[in-house]
Amino acid sequence: MDLLHFLIVCPLVFLAGFVDAIAGGGGLISLPAYLLAGLPVHNAIATNKMSSAMGTALTTWRYAQSGYVNWRLAPLCVLCAFLGSAGGANLALLISEDVLRALLLVILPLTGLYVLRSQSLNSAARPPGQISGGNPRRVGLLAALAAFFIGIYDGFYGPGTGTFLILLLAGMTQMPLTKANGLTKIINLTTNLAALLVFLLNDQVLLPLGLAAGCFSVAGNYLGARCFSSHGAAIARPIILLVLAIFFIKIVIEFF
């Protein structure tokens, strides 16, 4: 690592934290930031988990303080998210860097298409509708399944996890949006910590860069939460798409 790594990663991770607090999807900026700096794929995914966990911890605490976390559903979701994310992280370690880069050539355009077409970046700031959470057992089962399978994805790759969770929890379970957001933060923090533990045990995390970027992530999350408004999410989509486009071009050049 050198100074250039910090100069590239830290500002973009700050931006990722800001966007994540407003509309979710911060990982769509933060992971490409590490890869744009030239880090190997495994180190980039691993170190991104450290900075993401630090930023997500702040927003999780704020949501809990605001009463947005359903504590009856949280324990089972945390368990499923931990198991899924740990499994996904171990799977990522088994795959070579060349294969991961090839997968990124497929994942990135699909992610960009999702960001372009998704309404979640417009609706994440809206107040909850007058809908109930549905049958408690059904809601609990669906939330646990979402936590497990999205946990696998987050441990393996990660970007977009928060947005995917909000869509699933609010859509499949008819959970009010504030509660979906609160439970999402608990699940996302768990998946980050589980994957981080696996990567730490396998010596993949670049600690100085991860800790420095984590401080920027915390600052971005804090500022984003303070700037949150019903129109704030409008800035998230163009920022994410720009970073994804730059990152995709870089991957194509390196791969071919």
The DSSP string of 107-135 is HHHHHHHHHHH-SHHHHTTSPP-S-----
pLDDT value of residue 234: 60
Instruction: Retrieve residue 253's tokens.
Output: 């050049």
Q: Alpha-carbon distance 175 to 189, whole Å?
A: 20
Quick one: pLDDT band at residue 235, thresholds 50, 70, 90? low
C-beta separation of 25 from 236 below 8 A = yes
Q: Is the pLDDT assigned to residue 117 strictly greater than 80?
A: no
Confidence at residue 173, expressed as pLDDT on a 0 to 100 scale:
76
Q: Is the pLDDT of residue 132 over 60?
A: no
Tell me what pLDDT residue 46 has.
Answer: 93
Q: Residue 229 is encoded by which pair of tokens? A: 């408004």
The mean pLDDT value for 129-157 works out to 80
Burial class (CB in 10 A: 0-12, 13-18, 19+), 241: middle
Highest mean pLDDT among 18-27, 51-60, 92-101, 230-239: 51-60
Residue 233: pLDDT band by 50, 70, 90 thresholds?
low
pLDDT of residue 50: 96
Tokens matching residue 152: 């696998």
pLDDT of residue 76: 94
Q: Looking at 10-24, 186-200, 236-250, which range is the least confident one?
A: 236-250
The band of 129, judged by pLDDT with boundaries at 50, 70 and 90, is very low
Residues in the chain, overall count: 256
Would the pTM count as exceeding 0.75?
Answer: yes
pLDDT for position 197? 95
Give residue-wise pLDDT tens across range 51-99. Answer: 999 998 988 898 888 888 889 999 999 999 999 999 999 998 888 877 8
Q: Which residue has the higher pLDDT, 107 or 38?
A: 38
Encode 39-73 in three state secondary structure: CCHHHHHHHHHHHHHHHHHHHHHHHHHCCCCCCCC
CB 105 within 8 A of CB 252: yes
Assign residue 206 a region: left if phi > 0, alpha if psi is -120 to 50, beta otherwise? beta
| CB contact at 8 A, 23 and 240 | no
Higher pLDDT, 174 or 200: 200
